[in-house]
Structure 1
Amino acid sequence: MGNGRGFRPVAVEDIAAEALTLAGGPRALLLQIAHPGVGRGVVDHSDFASRLMDRFEGTVLYLTATMYGTPEEQAAMRRLVNRAHAPVRGVDPASGTTYNAFDPELQLWVAATLYQTMMDLHGRVFGPLSPPQAGLAYRELSRALSNLQLSHEQWPADRAAFDRYWEGMVGSLRVDADVLAVSRQILYPSGVSWWMRPGLPLLRLVTAGLLPPAVRAQFRLEWDAARQRRFDRAMRWTARIYTRLPVRLRRLLRDRYLAKLRRLVSSAPATTKARLADG
């Protein structure tokens, strides 16, 4: 592989290791909260405004454990996520419907946004996978993302079935005033590091460009021909530059979060480790 320049990830563990996948984080979050059940849980129980970066790191740690963690590390992350999900339940005052963070349907939607966003970005920057490669990536990622109450059997059976599920779900998404307010906390975060601030306008452009048009409109994100051209240009330059970076550099964030995950698990008291190992 040499210095890794021009290396095109095809295996799932290589695709998920790319720092590129993090650029899709805000897009996945917006799609998640546009689901009425997920959105109401976030509105009632989350604190995006004050802890956005903490929650971002928690999501990345979860993905890192899912893809690369040992059984002990995956058990630790399951326990942390279960603890966070435990109070997230209630009734939507507008519709009267109940929501519960342990609902497999809601967990499937959250996992589906992570899978679909990852593969969308990968295809835009590296080009499409072959049908056998894409089928294998779907099977392996859907299995890896089924680590909580969601089972692998609850995923659509194959990529064609997933595409039908995705189209139907996107058509059912609804953004109310409360969810719209949360989206502004995601897109215009406070308290981020100084070195991240100059990149936020570009990240907002990419996030809006990656959203399905109907969902983008519900989030009231302005879009026109000029913005489309800027987005297309950003994707072209990303494909030209990012794909030529050394693989080691492209995987720095994955390695950082894997090290953080292992420190988190290794620093736990022995009694906690025993409980974690038991699941």
Structure 2
Amino acid sequence: MTLLDEEPAAVAVSAQALVPLPDVSAAPYGLSDYVGEACLLLGAGSAVMNQLALVGVGKGVAEHSNTFERPLDRLRTTLTYVYALTLGTEVERKAIARMVNKAHGPIKGDGYTAFDPKLQLWVAATLTAGGEQMYEKTFGPMDEASRERAYREGWILGTALQVTEDMWPRTRAEFSTYWESMQAELSPDPHVQAYARQLLSARDAAWYLAGSVALQSLLTRGNLTAQVREVLDLPWRRRDQWAYDAFWAVFRTTYRLVPKRLRTLHSRLLVKDMRKRMRANRRVI
């Protein structure tokens, strides 16, 4: 039996589903309906910045990441992880979790380890919050039932590794409380600040990539709160805000004119690539 012998599950069902929770049966849509949308990629950079703002995560990434050596491959592996968990089969989810755990082995240092469930919880929370933020910026506010359904379907992002189910907030309202409480834990670190600025700098990019890097920097910084920008020492001027608002005014209109099959093409290709790599025993993560 190969991984492709199983039918893809839309999303994993957590054991938390056994706990009485708000009824979402009438929700028009959920996470599986939009997780593959290309517009969510516009929040990738800000998710990373939110992660860096928590010093334990920030130090681990700044000291061990190889993003600068293989930026496109790092993007591929991150997206593969997300799509495997949310669009893959149960076998694929377990396989990806094992691969990530193996990759996390060497990531440890003074005051942090990649296996720390509290740090993993924050990383997963940034993915959850970032995806929701980008969806709403593009398509408008979610209705409460769909927001709750999408959050519930996304539990797997929080509990696939070392985060236990009792640690992950049960409802979207509890998640908001957790998110707000974590803002007090975000603190500056000079090494992490330098790393964050380097990630967003177009100075070392090839000339043909400079424009896209500059746009990604603008969107990344604009998606962040003023507090996180201050923690990471990222500049934000009035003209940045004007450019950010202008981008979204144009993007949200034009993006919705593109057929959904094209908007989600990249996610289907990445899942296909993941399955091809698994069959050939090639590196996935």
What's the offset of the Cα at 1:139? 1.0
Q: Are 2:24 and 1:11 equivalent residues in the alignment?
A: no
For residues 227-268 of structure 1, give each alpha carbon's deviation from its aligned partner in whole angstroms, at most 9, with x where no partner exists.
212111111111101111111110111011111111111112
Change (3 A) 1:118 1:50: same
2:246: which partner in 1?
233
Residue type at the aligned position of 2:244: F
> How many angstroms does 1:70 deviate by?
1.6
Tell me the secondary structure at the aligned position of residue 244 of structure 1.
Answer: coil
Contact 2:29-2:149 within 8 A present in 1 as well: no
How far off its partner does 1:220 sit? 2.5
Q: Do structure 1's residue 253 and structure 2's residue 266 form an aligned pair?
A: yes
Counterpart in the other structure of 2:196: 183
> Does the alignment pair 1:50 with 2:69?
yes
2:113 is aligned, of 100, 104, 109, to 100
Large movers: runs of 4+ above 3 Å: 189-197
Please give the alpha-carbon distance, in whole angstroms, between the structure 1 residues aligned to 2:194 and 2:153.
Answer: 35
Question: For 1:146 and 1:19, how far apart are their aligned partners in 2?
Answer: 24
Q: Paired residue for 1:152?
A: 165
- The 5 Å alignment of 1:104-253 reads 104-188=117-201, 196-253=209-266
* Larger RCO, structure (CA 8 Å, separation 6 or more): 1
CA distance change for structure 1 residues 103 and 66 in 2, over 3 Å: closer, same or farther?
A: same
Relative to 1, partners in 2 of residues 1:36 and 1:231: Cα closer, same or farther, differing over 3 Å? same
Percent identical residues: 36
- Partner SS state of residue 50, structure 1: coil
Q: C-alpha distance in 2, partners of 1:20/1:26?
A: 12
TM-superposed deviation, 1:42: 1.6
Structure 1-normalised TM-score? 0.85
Amino acid paired to 1:75: K
Equivalent position amino acid for 1:33 in 2: L
Letter of the structure 2 residue corresponding to residue 213 of structure 1: A
> Cα distance 1:52–1:184, how it changes in 2: closer, same or farther (>3 A)?
farther
Structure 2 CA distance for aligned equivalents of residues 220 and 163 of structure 1? 25
Contact in 1 for aligned 2:107/2:114 (Cα 8 Å)? yes
Unaligned runs of 5+ residues in structure 2 are 1-27
For residues 169 and 133 of structure 1, the distance between their equivalents in structure 2, rounded to whole angstroms, comes to 25
CA contact (8 A) 1:52 1:189 kept: no
Query: Residue type of the partner of 1:29?
Result: V
| AA of the residue aligned to 1:210 | N
Structure 1 contact 125–236 (Cα < 8 Å) conserved: no
Q: How far apart in 2 are the matches of 1:180 and 1:21?
A: 25
Runs of 5+ consecutive residues of structure 1 not aligned to the other structure: 1-8, 92-97, 273-279
The 5 A counterparts of 1:54-73 are: 54-73=73-92
How far 1:151 sits from its partner (Å)?
2.8
Q: When the two structures are superposed, what TM-score results if normalisation uses the length of structure 2?
A: 0.83
SS of the aligned residue for 1:249 comes to: helix
CA change 1:256–1:216 in 2 (3 A) is same
- The alignment's C-alpha RMSD in Å is 2.1
